[in-house]
C-alpha cells in the first residue's frame, strides 16, 4: 500500500532544457515510463547506469554499464558462492565514451576496450541478452552469454526519488525475470537456468545526485508452490523524500509499499542475518547470507565502500487484497553502499 501517485503515461524527468525536476515526474509506475532528459545541466552531477545481477543458485554473475559524468565504468563479475571463488574484469573510461539512452532498454549498450567486451542488448518482447568476454587475472579466458526473459505483463518498481528540485533520481528495479545461459572461466562451464531456477535483477539509475549518499538495496526471486515471488527492498537514500523503492511481485503483479522499511543487520558482521520489516505489516523477511562481496575503491573525493551479501530469503508478504504468501529459499542479496561522487 502506498500514498505515492501512480503514473500511467510517459513523462519527462526534467524540464525541457534538462534543468530542474519536472513536477509531473514525481511518482511511481508499474512499467518504466520516465524519459531521463538530463543533458544540458550540472555537468559532473548526472549519473546514469544499468546494472544486472543474475542469481543462478551457487553461481552469481553481474555486469554494469555506467556513466557518472566524470568518468565511465564497465564491469563484469562472477562468484561461486559455495567456494568463495570469484573473478571478472572492470574498466574505467574517459568521460563521454560510455553513453546510455534516456529511456532504459531502448538501445544496445556496448564497449570493447582494455581487455573487456560487454554487450547489454536492447529490450524486446522476449527480454534482453547479456554477453561479455574478458581475461582473468590468472590469464584464463572468461565469458558469459545469458538471456534474461521478460514474462508478459511482468510489473516492476519504477519511481522518482526527489531529494530536491535539483537533486533527484529515477530508478527502475526489475525482479522475477527468468534467466538462462552459460558462464565460462577457463575450462570450467557453469550452466544457468537449466535444472534449477536462475533469475535476472535489473537496477536502472538516471538522475542528478548529491555528492555523498548511503543506501540499502535488496532483491530476491524464486518460486513457492506454484507462484513466482520477487522482492525489491530499499532504505536510507529515500528517507525524507516522500518516495520509496519498496515493493514485491506475486506472479507478475506488483504491490507497491510506500512506507520506509526497517533494516536490521551488522556492517561489521555482514554474514550474520539481515532482517527487513514493513512497519505496516505487509512484509517480513530475513536474508541468510553465504557470501560477502566487499568493495572499497577511490578516496574521500570520489569513491565507494560496499558490503553486498548473497544468500537466501525467507519470510512472508501480504498484498493489498489481503493475500498472504509465505516462502523460503528465494535467491537474493542485500547491501549497504556508502558513496562519494
Instruction: Supply the pLDDT for residue 182.
Output: 98
In angstroms, the CA 100 to CA 103 distance is: 8
Alpha helix positions (H), 300-340: none
In angstroms, the CA 198 to CA 190 distance is: 12
Instruction: Supply the pLDDT for residue 40.
Output: 74
Instruction: Supply the pLDDT for residue 202.
Output: 98
Q: Is the pLDDT of residue 302 over 80?
A: no
Instruction: Supply the pLDDT for residue 298.
Output: 77
Torsion of CA 243, 255, 147, 159, to 10 degrees: -20
Element (H, E) at 3: none
Instruction: Supply the pLDDT for residue 196.
Output: 76
Instruction: Supply the pLDDT for residue 340.
Output: 87
The answer to whether residues 293 and 279 touch, using CB atoms and an 8 Å cutoff, is no
Q: Is the pLDDT of residue 43 over 80?
A: no
More confident residue, 303 or 162: 162
Average pLDDT, the chain: 96
Instruction: Write the pLDDT tens digit of every residue in 77-125.
Output: 999 999 999 999 999 999 999 999 999 999 999 999 999 999 999 999 9
Predicted confidence band of residue 3 (pLDDT cuts 50, 70, 90): very high
Q: Is the pLDDT of residue 76 over 80?
A: yes
Instruction: Supply the pLDDT for residue 63.
Output: 98
Per-residue pLDDT averaged across 39-45, rounded?
78
In angstroms, the CA 122 to CA 128 distance is: 6
Instruction: Write the pLDDT tens digit of every residue in 252-267.
Output: 999 999 999 999 999 9
Listed by start position, the domains of the chain span 11-35+45-340
pTM of the complete model: 0.97
Q: Is the pLDDT of residue 194 over 90?
A: no
Instruction: Supply the pLDDT for residue 104.
Output: 96
The answer to whether residues 190 and 310 touch, using CB atoms and an 8 Å cutoff, is no
More confident residue, 39 or 286: 286
Amino acid at each position: 500500500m502506498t500514498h505515492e501517485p501512480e503514473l500511467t503515461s510517459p513523462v519527462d524527468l526534467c524540464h525541457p532544457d534538462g534543468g530542474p525536476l519536472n513536477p509531473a515526474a514525481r511518482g511511481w509506475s508499474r512499467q518504466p515510463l520516465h524519459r531521463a532528459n538530463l543533458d544540458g545541466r550540472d555537468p559532473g552531477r548526472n549519473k546514469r547506469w544499468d546494472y544486472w545481477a543474475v542469481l543462478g543458485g551457487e553461481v552469481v554473475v553481474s555486469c554494469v554499464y555506467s556513466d557518472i559524468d566524470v568518468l565511465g565504468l564497465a564491469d563484469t563479475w562472477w562468484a561461486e558462492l559455495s567456494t568463495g571463488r570469484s573473478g571478472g574484469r572492470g574498466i574505467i573510461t574517459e568521460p563521454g565514451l560510455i553513453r546510455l539512452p534516456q529511456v532504459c532498454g531502448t538501445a544496445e549498450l556496448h564497449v570493447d576496450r582494455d581487455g573487456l567486451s560487454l554487450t547489454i542488448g536492447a529490450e524486446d518482447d522476449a527480454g534482453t541478452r547479456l554477453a561479455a568476454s574478458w581475461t582473468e587475472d590468472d590469464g584464463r579466458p572468461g565469458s558469459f552469454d545469458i538471456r534474461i526473459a521478460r514474462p508478459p505483463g511482468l510489473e516492476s518498481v519504477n519511481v522518482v526519488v526527489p531529494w530536491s528540485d535539483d537533486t533527484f533520481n529515477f530508478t527502475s528495479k526489475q525482479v522475477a525475470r527468468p534467466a538462462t545461459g552459460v558462464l565460462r572461466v577457463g575450462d570450467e562451464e557453469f550452466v544457468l537456468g537449466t535444472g534449477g531456477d536462475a533469475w535476472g535483477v535489473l537496477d536502472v539509475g538516471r538522475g542528478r545526485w548529491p555528492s555523498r549518499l548511503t543506501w540499502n538495496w535488496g532483491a530476491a526471486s524464486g518460486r513457492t508452490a506454484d507462484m513466482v515471488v520477487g522482492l525489491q527492498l530499499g532504505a536510507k537514500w529515500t528517507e525524507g523524500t516522500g518516495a520509496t523503492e519498496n515493493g514485491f511481485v506475486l506472479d507478475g503483479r506488483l504491490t507497491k509499499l510506500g512506507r520506509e522499511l526497517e533494516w536490521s543487520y551488522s556492517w561489521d558482521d555482514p554474514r550474520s542475518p539481515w532482517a527487513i520489516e514493513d512497519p505496516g505489516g505487509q512484509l517480513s523477511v530475513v536474508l541468510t547470507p553465504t557470501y560477502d562481496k566487499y568493495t572499497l575503491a577511490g578516496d574521500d573525493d570520489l569513491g565507494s565502500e560496499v558490503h553486498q551479501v548473497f544468500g537466501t530469503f525467507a519470510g512472508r508478504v501480504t498484498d493489498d487484497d489481503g493475500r498472504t504468501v509465505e516462502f523460503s529459499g528465494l535467491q537474493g542479496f542485500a547491501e549497504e553502499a556508502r558513496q562519494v561522487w
